[in-house]
Amino acid sequence: MGLLSDPSRRKVLTGLLTRLNTPICIVCYLAGIVWFMGLAFEPFTLRTYMSENAMGSTMVEERFSSGERALSLAKEFDAHKRKAGGMPVEWLVKAMQSRGLEVFTQSFSRKLPFPDENKERYMVRGTNVYGILRAPRAPRTEALVITAPCSPGNTNNQAVALLLALAQYFRNQIYWAKDIIFLVNEHDLIGTQAWLEGYHHTNITGMEYSPLQGRAGSIQAALSLELSSDVITSLDLVLEGLNGQLPNLDLANLFYAFCQKLGVLCTIQGKLQRNDWDTAEGYTHAAQTMMLMVLKQACGRSWGDHGLFLRYHIEAASVRGINSFRHYKTDATTIGRLLEGMVRKLNNLLERLHQSYFFYLLPSLSRFVSIGYYMPAFGLLAVILLLRVSFPGLCHCFSVSLQPSSPGVLTVLTPVVISHLTGVALYLLPVHLQEMAVEHFPVSETEAVVLTAIAIYTAGLALPHNTQRLLSGEGTEQGWKVLKLTALLYLAVLLGCTALINFSLGFILAVTLVPITASITPHMPKALYALVMVLLSPAFTILYCVFIYQELIEAPVSVSEGWMLFLSVISQGILDHALYGSLVYPLLALFIYPCWLMFWNILFWN
C-alpha cells in the first residue's frame, strides 16, 4: 500500500517495470515453460486418491465368470454381422431380450457436410440397439450406461459380446439400485450422438433420429468398451472428451484401483507407468505421457464414445483393450470382472461423481496435476501480455486515442473489422463453397474444403497492405500503438477464457502466440519478422502439434506424410464442429486467427 500511495516510490516501481520490461517478459516466458515441464516431475505432482466415499471403502467382490462364453458369443456376433453387412439389429434385439432386458432400437441418419475420407462415409444411416436392465425396486430415476460401438470389419466384436455376457450376469443379481443401459451403437460417435440427443430430446447438430421409446431417468455415469481381440495385454483408459472436457478424476481412480486389484496392466495414452522417476528416462516418459494428454485435450475432439456424454454432465470414460504382443495376457473373464467391479461401485454412488477434480493433467495413472498447479504456467505466459500493455509508450497513447476527435479509433477499427471478416470467411466459406470448388478444380469435396480453408487463410495475409491505406491514408505512429494495445488486450482475454475451459489449448496457443505478439512493432526487419510470424501462426501450430503427436506415439512421419495428416486434421476439425459441436474450429477461425491478423497488420503498418 505504502509503495503504491507514495508517488515517488510508485514512480520508481513503474520505472523499473518500464526499464526491465523486456527482461521480465523473457523471464516470465521461460519460467512458464519450465513450470509446465516441471509438472511431469513426480515430486511436484500429487498421488491420486479416491475422493468419493461411496466408492472408496465399499469393496465389492467380482464373480463374473463367463468370459469364455463371451468369446464364443463374439464369433456368433461376427457371423451375424457379416451376414447383415453391418449391425445385426434383429439378432442383437433377440440376444438382449433373451437375457431379460427391455430392448429398444433407434434409427438415425445424418448427411455429413462433406465426405469424411478417413472413415469413408458421407450419408450415414444406422440403428442403435439398447437394452435396459431395470433395477428391482428402483423408481427409474437413475441409470448407468455401458456402451460398445459396433464397428465395421471384425473390430470390437469382443466388446459387444462381453457387453451381452455382462448383461446376462447382471440380470441375475439383485443388488442394482440404478437401471443399467446396455447400448450398442452403430457408426461410433455419430450413433452415440444420435442416442444422446434422442435420450435428452435435444437437437444441436441437425441429426435426424427416431425418438426413443424407453428411458431410465438421469444417467449418472457411462463406460465405453472397446475390445478387438480375445486376449488383451493391457487396458488403456481414454478420458479426453469433446472440447477438452474431462470426466471426474474419481472415474480414473476407480479404473486404476480395479486394475491394481485384479492385476491387469493399465495404461494411459498407451504408456505404461514407470517407477524410476528420478532418472532422466523416467522423467521423459512422464513428460511424454503428459504432453500426449495436453495435445489430445487441446484438439478438442472426442477420443472415444465417452467424450460426447460429458456435455450432458455424465461422467464417462472409454476402456480400450490393447493387444501389443507383450507376454502378459489378460483373458475376457478378468476384463468382465473389472467392468463388473466398476459398475457395481458406480451403482453404489449416492450422488453424482463430484468429489474429485474435473480439471487435471495426468503424467501417469497414479499421479495427477490439479488445476492449482498447472494454471501458474499459463499465468506466467499471460502476464507477459499484460506487462506489454502497461508498457508506457502504449499506455500513454491509449488515453489520447480515446478522444473522439483523434483519428485513432477509426484506424484501429478498420483492421479489427477486416480481420474479423476474414475470420468469418474462413469459418463459413470452406463448407459452403465446396460445390463451386469441385466444379472448377479437379479435387474431391474434402480436398476442396481443406484447400479453400488454406487459401482463405493465406489470402488473409495479403490484406494489411491494402486496407488501412485505402481508408485513412498513411498509418501514424500512434495508430499502430493503439492497435497493438487493443490486440494485446484482446489476445489476453481470448487466451484467458480458452485456458479456463480447455487449459491445453490455451497453453499451446499462448506458447506460440505470446512471444511474437509481445514483441511486434512496425520498425522491425519486415521480411525476417514476417517469416517468424507466419511460422508461429495458428496453422503452423497445428502442423507442429501433428508432428509432435506422431513423435510421441512413436510413429514418426515424414514431411509429406505429416502434410497429409495436417490436411486431414483440418478436415476432421471442421467435421467435428459440424457433427458433434466441437468448438476448436470456430474458436480458431473466428477469434484466434483474426487476432493474429491484427498483429500481422502492425508489422506492415506504414
Partner 1 sequence: LDSRLPLVIFLHALTPAAARDEFQEELVIRPLHSGDIYASFQFRTLWDTDFLQEGQKVSHYRLFPKSLGQVLSKFSVRELHISFSQGFWRTMQWGQPFIPSPPGAELWVWFHDTVSDVDGNWKELTNVLSGIFCASLNFIDLTNTVQPSASFKPLGLGNATDHRFLRYATLPREIVCTENLTPWKKLLPCGSKAGLAVLMKSEKLFHSSFHSQAVHIRPICQDEQCSSKAWELRQTLNVVFDLHTSGQGKKEWSLFKMFSRTLTEACPLASSSKVYVDITDNPELFELSPATPLLGQAVVLGDRRTYSVYDLSRAETFGQLRSFNLLLRDMLRPLLHAERYVAGFGLQTGEIHTVIYNNHPYRAFPVLLMDSVPWYLQLYIHTLTVTSKSRDNKPSYIHYQPAKDRHRPHLLEMLIQLPPHSMTEVTVQFERALLKWTEYTPDPNHGFYVGSSVVSALVPSMVAMRTNFTQDQPLFSSFVPVKEESSYFVRVYTEPLLVNLPTPDFSMPYNVICLTCTVVAVGYGSFYNLLTRTFQVDEPSPPLSKRLANLIRRIRGVPLLT
Residues that bind partner 1 (CB under 8 A): 1, 4-5, 7, 100, 102, 134, 136-142, 171-174, 200-202, 215, 217-218, 311-313, 350-352, 354-355
Closest contact distance (angstroms) between CB of 268 and partner 1 is 25
Closest contact distance (angstroms) between CB of 242 and partner 1 is 12
Instruction: Compute the distance between CA of residue 441 and CA of residue 205 in angstroms, rounded to an integer.
Output: 30
Cα 13 to Cα 449, 509, 528: the distances in Å are 53, 31, 34
Q: Which is nearer to partner 1, 307 or 479 (CB)?
A: 307
Burial annotation 185-221 (CB, 10 A radius, 16+ → b, else e): bbbbbbbbbbbbbbbbeeeeeebebeebebbbeebbb
Is residue 392 within 8 A of residue 17, CB to CB? The reply is no
Q: Which is nearer to partner 1, 205 or 472 (CB)?
A: 205
Residues in the chain: 606
Instruction: Compute the distance between CA of residue 151 and CA of residue 166 in angstroms, rounded to an integer.
Output: 19
Closest contact distance (angstroms) between CB of 41 and partner 1 is 24
Closest contact distance (angstroms) between CB of 134 and partner 1 is 7
Closest contact distance (angstroms) between CB of 222 and partner 1 is 14
Exposure of 586 by Cβ count < 10 A (0-12 exposed, 13-18 middle, 19+ buried)? middle
Q: How many CA atoms lie within 13 A of 367 on its CB side?
A: 21
Closest contact distance (angstroms) between CB of 543 and partner 1 is 35
Q: How many CA atoms lie within 13 A of 502 on its CB side?
A: 26
Q: Which is nearer to partner 1, 130 or 277 (CB)?
A: 130
Q: Which is nearer to partner 1, 5 or 558 (CB)?
A: 5
Q: Which is nearer to partner 1, 28 or 143 (CB)?
A: 143
Closest contact distance (angstroms) between CB of 495 and partner 1 is 22
Please report which helix (H) or strand (E) contains residue 594, including its range: helix 593-603
How, if at all, do strands 367-370 and 208-209 pair? Answer: unpaired
Q: What are phi and psi of 177, to 5 degrees?
A: -110, -15
Torsion of CA 131, 54, 56, 267, to 10 degrees: 30
How, if at all, do strands 218-226 and 208-209 pair? Answer: unpaired
Closest contact distance (angstroms) between CB of 306 and partner 1 is 16
Closest contact distance (angstroms) between CB of 387 and partner 1 is 16
Helices and strands of the chain, counted as H and E runs: 24, 12
Closest contact distance (angstroms) between CB of 174 and partner 1 is 6
Q: Which is nearer to partner 1, 248 or 269 (CB)?
A: 248
Closest contact distance (angstroms) between CB of 98 and partner 1 is 10
Q: Which is nearer to partner 1, 351 or 474 (CB)?
A: 351
Is residue 17 within 8 A of residue 384, CB to CB? The reply is no
Q: Please enumerate in sequence order all residues whose Cβ is within 8 A of that of 443, keeping only pairs 6 or more positions apart, or say none.
A: 437, 451
Q: Which is nearer to partner 1, 57 or 558 (CB)?
A: 57
Instruction: Compute the distance between CA of residue 343 and CA of residue 595 in angstroms, rounded to an integer.
Output: 47
Q: Which is nearer to partner 1, 143 or 238 (CB)?
A: 143
Q: Which is nearer to partner 1, 296 or 345 (CB)?
A: 345
Q: Which is nearer to partner 1, 390 or 458 (CB)?
A: 390
How, if at all, do strands 218-226 and 315-322 pair? Answer: parallel
